[in-house]
Structure formats: C-alpha cells, structure tokens
Chain A
Amino acid sequence: MVKEIERTGIPVVHMCTVVPISLTVGANRIVPTIAIPHPLGNPALEKEDEKKLRRKLVEKALKALQTEVDGQRVFED
C-alpha cells in the first residue's frame, strides 16, 4: 500500500514496529513504533504519559512527511 500510494506522487510515512520488514518491502520514510500488538500506544504507561508518547509519534511522522529523502530512511529519535 505504501508503494502504491507513493507511485501516484503522494509522499507516505510508514509507521511500523518491525522496521526490517518495512525496509524489505521498500518504504522510503519509516517511523519506528512501540510494539506489534500496540504500535501507536503503550498500555503499560499512565494515561497522561501515553498521550504524550502518542503525540510525539504523530509529530515525528508529520516531520518525516515534510522531509526530503533520497532513498530509504528510518527516522530514529
């Protein structure tokens, strides 16, 4: 899906936990997430802390979306 959307000219950020698979399938902008059963959250955290974590992930993805890339890039911290 990532590749097909990009083929139409729209940039895509792939937020995922298993970065190696994302690299294998050919995503260009990759934002690593928390865990496979809960990629965009962490049930072990307090509600407030989890909200901060979620916001940070979304902001990171938006930043990645606006970043020019030349080939594949993983957006670590």
Chain B
Amino acid sequence: MRLELGKINIVDVQFGDTTKIESGTLYVNKQKIIDIVMEDEHIKSVEVELAKPGEETRITPVKDVIEPRVKVEGQGEIFPGVMSKVTTVGTGRTHVLKGAAVITCGKIVGFQEGIIDMSGPGSEFTPFSKLNNVCLVIKPVDGLKQHEYEAAVRMAGLKVATFIGKVGKDVQPDEVEVYETKPLLESINEYPNLPKVGYVYMLQTQGLLHDTYVYGVDSKKIVPTILYPTEVMDGAILSGNCVSACDKNTTYHHQNNPIIHDLYERHGKDINFVGIIITNENVYLADKERSSNWTAKLCKYLGLDGAIVSQEGFGNPDTDLIMNCKKIENEGIKTVIVTDEYAGRDGASQSLADADAKADAVVTGGNANEVIILPPMKKIIGMLDYTDKIAGGFDGSLRADGSIEAEIQVITGATNELGFNKLSTIGF
C-alpha cells in the first residue's frame, strides 16, 4: 500500500463568509459549523470558538482533537466505516491541514476530560497548544444518557473535521511525503538482510466510555489483526475515549502516530518495517489472555525480529502491556515497550501496576503524577466547574484567582504513550 501525504501548512485560523484556505489561513464559516453540529437531535447547543498559539486561552473539558484531512486520490474517504463506507483506505493521496485541528469539549464524564492551555507553562505539556484550533463546546439535550452524549460529541467532531478537511482537496500542498508498505513476502525479498520490525498498537477498549473504533468497529470486539500503517493515516482508527487526558490517544494522535512515522523513517535503512498488529485492552482476564496470545502468535507468523509495543491508558492495561511483552519475547522476538508512569508526586513509587524481567527495554512518556500550577487565563473556552474532580485534580485545585494546581494528568496529551510529546527519561 502506497500513500502520498500532502501537507498544507495552516498558520492561522479565522472566521469568514466561506470555509476556505487562502495563503496558509484557514477561514471557517461559523454558521455552517453550527448547522452541521445541530443536525444531531441529541445536541442542545454548540459554541464555536477559535484558539490560536500564544493566546491566553484555556480550553476545557477537552474530549477529542481531530486533524482535518481529505482523500484526493485512491479509494475510500477519511474515517471509513464511520463517516463513509467501510472501503479499505491507505492508498493514493491524502491532503492534511497541517497546523489546524478541531477540538471537541463537553462535560461528558466530567472528571475524565482534559485541559489545553494555549500559552504559559501548561502549553509546554500539550502539542495542541501549537495548533490553530476550531473548538466546539457541545451541550446535550436534557436527560441525554452519558454514552449517547459521548457518541453525539464524537460524531460532531468527526463531521466538522471532515467538512473542514474537504477545503484542502484542491489546494496545492506545501510538502508531499510518500509512505509505502508492501505485502509481506515482497517486503522481505526487498530487504532480505534487514531485521523485520513490527508495531503492536494497543487500543484503549475498557468500555464504559473508554472505547476506540477501527473501521467503525468497537475494538473491544476484535481479535488482534494486521493493518497497513497507511490505513491509520486515513483515519482507520479513531478515539471514542473519555479517560485520563494525559495518556489517552486522541484521534489526532492516531492520525499522526509518531511510532509509525519514525519506523517509516528508518524503513529500508536499518530496519524493515513490515506492518502493524492492532490489539485491545479489555476488562475480562480471558480477553487479555486471548489478545496477548494472538499478538505473540501474529508477531511470530510475520517472522518479526523485533516489535515496538505501545500502551494506551494506565492501571489494568499495564497488565495487557506486560502480557504482550512477555509472550512476544517468549517467541524469541525482541520488544521495546512504550508507556508512561504513575510514580507518585515524588516519582518514588512503582511506575506500573504490573512488571516482568522481560520488559527490559522501556520508553516512558513521563510521570503523570507530577504537579503543575497553571496560571489564570483571560479566556476560557468551555467551563471550569469540574476542575476539582478531573482525574489529576483534587479538592482546591481551582483557586479563587482562576489558577489551577493539579497533576499533569489533567493536560491533554501530557504523557502520551506514542511519544507524541517532549517528556521522557534517559537511563544511565
């Protein structure tokens, strides 16, 4: 599968009469966005606001972040099985509005959404402070159940991102990158002397609003399977998660998974990146056993020499991570695991809920329990009434002057386990 990714650099976002891109500025028609969101009878109201890098703006409670993309050539559309038919994607050409994002906000669970600061110390902890964001603050109709609210906000975000993405269809991209993964046997024949490396991509699927979708399928119902990496760039995987903000993968993280990009960077040079195995993190032990058995089986079947395993979330998924690591290692395949830590505010506690001697190559996205003080901001997009209860917050987190003292857990993407951030640790 071969995909050309054309990046249209977006340096500013403004409201305008029509939605279009002109010399790097994205113009959005506010009323059109409102109309798209309000098509859903579950939604009572939506506020559309813009947030740009450097502004004294705080966005919260953040549910998802989505990058606008559009298919230009090749079959299917972005977000197959959800926004379009379930056609297999990942070939041809896709345009990306690089530097722009759609952010959805709402008090869905209340304590499991995040904070994005566009300036100040908090902005250093989230990659989304560097983007030109179109924010949707969505309120549900009275009496709507939590899971219906989640679905409504998820779909609203995807619809708006798809609408905005489409204006990039006929725009000449600033840069085009090509990604290609060949069928396994061809790939092995092409680079017979390079070690074969695969990527085991763990998806949060604990249910109770902790869900991820693959081609429209709720992925707690899948068994591990194989994807071409370019399918992910076309939105094959998307987030339906309301879970701790720091280490959940937003849809934006999936679309831009840095592990995939870094493996492609080295493909054909010192490794042969042969593909992705997606797997889940379910709440029944039998599911955990079955899925980790299957990832190990598929790694062996693909003839891998090494595998990168990334986790999403924390707590019991630590066990899925360790089971994957241990079972893949037992097949004689080297692993590196990518995770984050809950090591206490002083960093002295055990970082993961589970461990094994075979997990001897670990990349961390940082300690989610580190405390940060976020100064007051001039503008709030969304609302602050859940700040004391947010995961990583505590009674008194929100101070009288509008500043917030909380663990970095509250910041969207702060300890992302795909390495989509700056925090890590080096062992000496």
Interface residues of A (CB under 8 A from B): 17-21, 24, 32, 34-37
Give 9 A-B pairs besides A20-B354, A24-B354, A37-B206 with Cβ atoms closer than 8 angstroms: A17-B284, A19-B285, A20-B319, A21-B318, A21-B319, A21-B354, A35-B283, A35-B284, A36-B284
- Smallest CB–CB gap between A19 and chain B, Å? 6
Chain A residues within 8 Å of B288, by CB: 18
A-B pairs with beta carbons under 8 Å apart, 13 shown: A17-B284, A17-B316, A18-B288, A20-B322, A20-B323, A21-B316, A24-B353, A24-B354, A32-B285, A34-B284, A36-B206, A36-B284, A37-B283
Q: Are the CB atoms of B354 and A17 closer together than 8 Å?
A: no
Nearest opposing residue in chain A for B210, CB measure: A37
Chain A residues within 8 Å of B283, by CB: 17, 35-37
Nearest opposing residue in chain B for A34, CB measure: B284
Chain B residues within 8 Å of A20, by CB: 319, 322-323, 354
Q: Are the CB atoms of B355 and A24 closer together than 8 Å?
A: yes
Q: How far is the CA of A17 from the CA of B319 in the complex (A)?
A: 11
- Smallest CB–CB gap between B4 and chain A, Å? 42
Q: How far is the CA of A34 from the CA of B207 in the complex (A)?
A: 15
Q: Are the CB atoms of B353 and A17 closer together than 8 Å?
A: no
Chain B residues within 8 Å of A19, by CB: 285
Chain B residues within 8 Å of A24, by CB: 353-356
Asked if A37 meets B354 with Cβ closer than 8 Å, knowing A18-B319, A21-B319, the reply is no
Say whether B208 faces chain A, with CB atoms less than 8 Å apart. Answer: yes
- Smallest CB–CB gap between B386 and chain A, Å? 22
- Smallest CB–CB gap between A36 and chain B, Å? 4
Q: Are the CB atoms of A37 and B208 closer together than 8 Å?
A: yes
Chain A residues within 8 Å of B316, by CB: 17-18, 21, 36
Nearest opposing residue in chain A for B323, CB measure: A20
| Interface membership of chain B positions 318-344, coded 1 if the CB is closer than 8 angstroms to chain A and 0 otherwise | 110011000000000000000000000
Nearest opposing residue in chain B for A17, CB measure: B285
Interface core residue of A19, A20, A35 (most chain B CB under 10 Å): A20
| Interface membership of chain B positions 350-365, coded 1 if the CB is closer than 8 angstroms to chain A and 0 otherwise | 0001111000000000
Pick the 5 closest A-B CB pairs, nearest first.
Answer: A36-B283, A35-B283, A35-B284, A21-B354, A18-B319
